[in-house]
Amino acid sequence: MNSRKCSVNACSLRSEYIIPADAPYPDYYRQKKALTEAKKTNPSLKAVHSQVLQDVIGRVDTAFTAMKQRRHGFPRFKKFGQFKSFLFPQIDNDAIAGNEIKLPKLGKVTINLHRPIPDGFKLKTARIIRKASGWYVSIAVQMDVSVPDSVPHGHALGIDVGLEYFLSTSDGEQVKRPRFFNQLQRQLELLQRRLRNKQKGSSNRRKLNQKMGRLHEHIAECRRDFHFKLAHHLCDNAEMIFVEDLDFRIMAKGMLGKHTLDAGLGQFVNQILPWVCWKRDVYYGKVDPNGTSQECPDCGAVVKKDLSVRVHQCAECGSIKPRDVASGQVIRNRGLSAVGLVVDEIACGRDLSGALPRQDRVKQESLRSDLEKPALYA
Ligand SMILES: [Zn+2]
């Protein structure tokens, strides 16, 4: 990169890195080839398994390709301790025996096998990951099966996510936002204050950093656990789930950014919920997010309200319900029409199952609590 952008009048006096103008771009394959040469001059490279080295070059190449595509974001150099995982692209099928894994060049390593490898699966890759709490290995397995995508059917659920309530469903259920980071922030602050007095590069500083890393990991794990449990709970009561197609990265830059990130809305809506839905054979769909909170779910009229208005009140048809539940129902209606089902048909089906009375009661209760509470955004 430097050899291509150095200007003639500002060359370094000592040395300049120069590559001939007609030299081809050193892409993944060229660099992989060059590895054999590099091993002769740098014997330390020989200590690492060759496929692991190739994978590292692949990752660097991916980063540069991505930068070229979006035209910004020069790949950052990973200094000691920042490169947190490496991959064995091929492992033997009998690499795991008992509580040991056999890795190329490393030999047998004792592991804590969290769950047995299911029968009939081939072991493909092993990625070694370093976290604050220790070393992990994640193994990819393969079997030739085709899993059919779930088709739209049954009871539909529209989900509105937000910060006052983590999510509100079209059935009237509202889930409070857990505050993982806020609870542990005090602890983190204390650790950070102690860090100030520690000398750079000292082992006390490293120990303290490790402690902070473990706390961060703990927060992330609590959040992930909550997301998985919630996703399974949603799948218990629905055969179709619809969410808004939002970009949470934009929300995270706003005034309530810290809270958006703490809730981990993006991780829940874009990663964990689709995955759990796929596993549980629940249809997952995204709908157009424009104006979901300004529409009446019962008659379709436009009901303008700003963020401080927490209750949806329609002048056209007289329906009254919590604002987030109303937009959850709008999302459900949009999702149903997107997959070609009629809203009323679904409502009838739900009637027959006898689930409506209970859900109606929840709706009433959450409405009451919503009316009594002072508005967060007021
Ligand atoms: Zn209405």
Per residue, the 3-state secondary structure of 305-374, as one string, reads CCCCCCEEECCCCCCEEEHHHHHHHHHHHHHHHHCCCCHHHHHHHHHHHCCHHHHHHHHHHHHHHHHHCC
96 within domain boundaries: yes
Q: How far is the centre of ligand 1, averaged over its atoms, from the C-alpha of 302 (Å)? A: 8
Domain that holds residue 108: 85-142
Q: Classify the C-alpha dihedral 162-164-166-168 as positive or negative.
A: negative
Strands of the 156-161 sheet, one edge to the other: 174-176, 165-169, 156-161, 240-244, 283-287
Q: How far is the centre of ligand 1, averaged over its atoms, from the C-alpha of 327 (Å)? A: 12
Between CA 325 and CA 289 the distance in angstroms is 15
Q: How far is the centre of ligand 1, averaged over its atoms, from the C-alpha of 160 (Å)? A: 18
User: What does the pLDDT look like over 145-193, one tens digit per residue?
Assistant: 888 888 888 899 999 988 888 899 999 899 988 887 777 888 888 888 9
Q: How many domains does the chain have?
A: 2
Q: In this structure, are 252 and 343 located in the same domain? A: yes
Q: How far is the centre of ligand 1, averaged over its atoms, from the C-alpha of 323 (Å)? A: 13
Tokens of 291: 């104006």
Q: How far is the centre of ligand 1, averaged over its atoms, from the C-alpha of 315 (Å)? A: 7
Q: In this structure, are 119 and 162 located in the same domain? A: no
Q: In this structure, are 249 and 226 located in the same domain? A: yes
Three-state DSSP at 122 gives: strand
Three-state DSSP at 35 gives: helix
Tokens of 40: 């002769």
Tokens of 277: 């839905």
Q: How far is the centre of ligand 1, averaged over its atoms, from the C-alpha of 287 (Å)? A: 20
296 within domain boundaries: yes
Q: Are 121 and 141 in contact (CB under 8 A)?
A: yes
The backbone region for 123, taken as left when phi is positive above 0, alpha when psi lies in -120 to 50, beta otherwise, is beta
CA 55: distance to chain centroid? 23
Closest alpha carbon to 292 in 164, 168, 375: 168
User: What does the pLDDT look like over 91-141, one tens digit per residue?
Assistant: 999 899 889 999 999 999 999 998 888 888 999 999 999 999 999 999 999
218 within domain boundaries: yes
Q: In this structure, are 357 and 242 located in the same domain? A: yes
16 within domain boundaries: no
% of residues, the chain, pLDDT over 70: 88
Q: How far is the centre of ligand 1, averaged over its atoms, from the C-alpha of 298 (Å)? A: 5
Looking at residue 46, what is its pLDDT? 92
Q: In this structure, are 182 and 224 located in the same domain? A: yes
- Which of the four pLDDT bands, split at 50, 70 and 90, describes residue 347? very low
Looking at residue 145, what is its pLDDT? 86
Between CA 284 and CA 89 the distance in angstroms is 32
Average pLDDT estimate for 327-353: 69
- Which of the four pLDDT bands, split at 50, 70 and 90, describes residue 264? confident
27 within domain boundaries: no
Looking at residue 147, what is its pLDDT? 83
Q: How far is the centre of ligand 1, averaged over its atoms, from the C-alpha of 247 (Å)? A: 28
Q: In this structure, are 274 and 310 located in the same domain? A: yes
Q: In this structure, are 114 and 214 located in the same domain? A: no
Q: Are 310 and 260 in contact (CB under 8 A)?
A: no
136 within domain boundaries: yes
Tokens of 205: 């500083």
Q: If you count them, how many residues does the chain have?
A: 378
Q: Classify the C-alpha dihedral 268-270-272-276 as positive or negative.
A: positive
Q: In this structure, are 231 and 348 located in the same domain? A: yes
301 within domain boundaries: yes
Looking at residue 371, what is its pLDDT? 38
Q: How far is the centre of ligand 1, averaged over its atoms, from the C-alpha of 300 (Å)? A: 6
Between CA 181 and CA 262 the distance in angstroms is 6
What is the model's pTM? 0.77
Q: Classify the C-alpha dihedral 165-162-234-224 as positive or negative.
A: negative
Give the Cβ contact number of residue 239 at 10 Å: 20
Q: In this structure, are 190 and 337 located in the same domain? A: yes
